[in-house]
Structure 1
Amino acid sequence: MEYDNILSDILGRKDFLVVGKNVIRTDALDKALGKAKYTADYVPKGTTILKVYRSTVAHAKIRSIDTSEALKVPGVEAIYTGADITGNNQIGYALPDQPFLNDKKVHFVGDPIALICAKDEYAATEAMDKMYVD
């Protein structure tokens, strides 16, 4: 094959372990069956899970954010809103003109409103269900 010759010329080798050869993929069956483990599947012990509570409506004023019920969920460590950010709450790619966490107004569906920190994903998800934004 031509690419074998090109690699041989560049690298100065004639034999390669993988290039130009049929390789048996020992992980193929696990991947095909959805059983393969990836780095995202391994969560080190003691890792804090973070979920972003986002707006479900566009162009709306935020009158209040109630986190009291969400904070009662076992495993929830903290919930941060725009009121918790001291200093500049503005971000943006070219121009910092968007709030990092919206606490006065949301502009589009998916605007971030709060960060939920929990000991596991189940607690974070349950806390998201107990958040109340008016």
Structure 2
Amino acid sequence: MPCSNGNLFPVDDEKKSRWDLIKKTLSQKFTNVSEWKEAVLKYSASHAKKWDFTALDLYCNKVLEPDAEEHLFDCLLPDMVRLALRASELCTKPIPLLKRGMDHSITMSQEQVACLLANAFFCTFPRRNSRKTEYCNYPDINFFR
């Protein structure tokens, strides 16, 4: 989970809480796509050369009308940030990963699901895109494409 105590980030030869960096970074106001991308890459620096935010860039710069873009950066994204940063409050334990052939179910509130989606939008899930982890057979969760 993004807010896990085990979600660490290397800073000057020591490991610091990646969640603290995410909270600090996302709490800043974004006025355009470039600022948003720069913020996401602050806590995902190892992916800077691999992650492609072209679709969001095209959507904001070619599809959205100026009023809609202003609404996105002034209202929607700040609300999504607030929701994403409530992860430790809304998701108090890790979400179990379901495997094919297992007979299990998960029950979550709409607010929990919205929180997880907001975190996916801001690419806060750790190690989910690595092909060298237990997650390699699961679909990507971070919205970096």
TM bracket (short chain):
under 0.3
Structure with bigger RCO (C-alpha 8 Å, 6+ apart): 1
Give the helix-richer structure, 1 or 2: 2
The higher radius of gyration belongs to: 1
Q: TM-score, normalised by structure 2?
A: 0.23
Q: What TM-score do you get using the length of structure 1 for normalisation?
A: 0.25
